[in-house]
Each structure stands twice: as C-alpha cells, then as structure tokens.
Amino acid sequence: MKSLIAGNWKMNGLSAAAGEVQALINKFSGATPEDRDILICPPATLVASFAASYSDEGVMIGGQDCHTNEAGAHTGDISAAMLADAGAAFVIVGHSERRADHGEGDALVKAKAEAALAAGLTPIICVGETKEEREAGKALDVVGSQLDGSLPQTQDEIVIAYEPVWAIGTGLTPTIADIAEVHDFIRGKTRDDIRILYGGSVKPGNAQEILAVKNVNGALVGGASLKAEDFYGIISAAPANV
C-alpha cells in the first residue's frame, strides 16, 4: 500500500490559498512523488477549482463532509455526488468536529460513508476518543464501538482515520506505544488492505516517528497542512510503502 498523507483544511482557505498548493507542488520541482498519495480536503468552495488545477499534478482533492442523500431539500448541505462531480476523489466523514458541532452519531456517519461509496468517492471515516475517555481507560472501547457503528457494509474502498479528540489542534500527541496499540486494534477489526491514518497534531517534527509505526498507513493533518512548507515536510517524512 502507498501511504496517504491527507490535509484537512477545515474552515480555512479563500481562493488565494491556491498559492499554497502550487507552492507545495513547486517544492517537489513539479513532480510529486508517485510512491505515496497526497490529498488536500479544502473547504467545499474550493473543491472544483483545486480539482481542476491540481488533480493531474499529483495532488488529489477531497471534501470534508457530505450528506447522506444524493440530492434534495437540504439547505446548505452538499452531496457526495456533487463532490464527485466537482472532481473530488475522497470525502472525510465523521470528523470529531462534525460529531461535536453537529451532533453526528455513528449511524449517520455510516450512512454518509455509504453515500460516498455510492458516488464513487473513498470515505475517510474518523474515530477517536476524548481526553476523559482516554483517562478512564476507555480509548479502545470507544474506538471499537465507533468502528462497529460507522463502517459501511462494503469496505472495499475506505480509509479509517484515528484522531484522538484531545490531540486535535492542541500540540499534544499520544505516545508512540499508544498510537501503535490503537492502530493494531483497528487493524484487528478491518482488512489488511485498508489504510489507517493517524491524525492529531502531526507536524514535520513528529511525522517521521509516527508514520514509522506499524499499521499507521498515513496521516490526516489539520493545521500543518495549510502551509506548503510544513505539509511538504510531513509528506517527505512518509515511508513510500506501508
């Protein structure tokens, strides 16, 4: 498997941010590495233009969320079919910020993952425990039950992201042993050919160590994906085969 380094831009990026993607490509002297997959999930407003400009340059584009339906009366929502039509190849579903801000539960996340697959997108399904849950020794229970509830029936083309909620945007990361424990646990519940990403305060300085862990098949990067220099450092630290 190729490692997958995915950037989640969250609610960041106006049209001028295209310059960061171009700067990233320029850092590879125009030829992005073919032995690992690079993905950027910008806000929905930028998906079509980024996909048109960069999909052929070795940077795949994804959405950050999708509705369960293909179309209909759902003001403000975006369907997986629309993302695919705009040139997206992936979509993040069940990110902890959507679970917290929008009350999304496992059944909804599963339905979104199934909608993504039906539209030809690869869903990146996010799971992860809160600080309280980790401190109570419940991290594996929580992740296990989120997986049981959120994974779609067909798992041919999915990605799982383990993102401990307390590590997101905080500069904190679990120990390498804790990351290994959760990733091994997830592997035990899924097929060998499904990529499992780690997310939460991945930076150029810690990427190499984290990405070398067995069953860590890439990273889902927030803040550090916004700057070409930092994202380049993380991509460069990724092993080609995982």
**In the complex, which residues of this chain contact ligand 13P (CB under 6 A)?**
8, 95, 163, 168-169, 199-202, 220-224
Least Å distance, CB 202 to ligand 13P, is 5
| Residue 218, helix vs strand vs coil | strand
Q: β-strands 195-199, 159-162: how paired?
A: parallel
The catalytically annotated residue of 97, 129, 133, 163 is 163
The strand ranges marked E within the chain are: 3-8, 36-41, 60-63, 90-93, 122-127, 159-162, 195-199, 218-221
102 included as an active-site residue = no
For ligand 13P, the closer CB: 13 or 81: 13
Q: Which residue is nearest to ligand 13P (CB)?
A: 222
For ligand 13P, the closer CB: 81 or 124: 124
For ligand 13P, the closer CB: 122 or 201: 201
The catalytically annotated residue of 95, 114, 129, 183 is 95
Least Å distance, CB 62 to ligand 13P, is 11
Least Å distance, CB 90 to ligand 13P, is 12
For ligand 13P, the closer CB: 50 or 198: 198
Least Å distance, CB 169 to ligand 13P, is 4
157 included as an active-site residue = no
- DSSP percent split of the chain into helix, strand, coil, nearest 5: 45, 20, 40
Sorted by sequence, the CB contacts under 8 Å of residue 6 that are 6+ apart come out as 39, 40, 41, 62, 90, 92, 124, 159, 161, 197, 218, 219, 220, 221, 225
Amino acid at 63: G
Please tell me the number of Cα atoms within 13 Å of 206 on its side-chain side.
17
Distance CA 5, CA 1 (A): 13
Q: Which residues are catalytic?
A: 95, 163
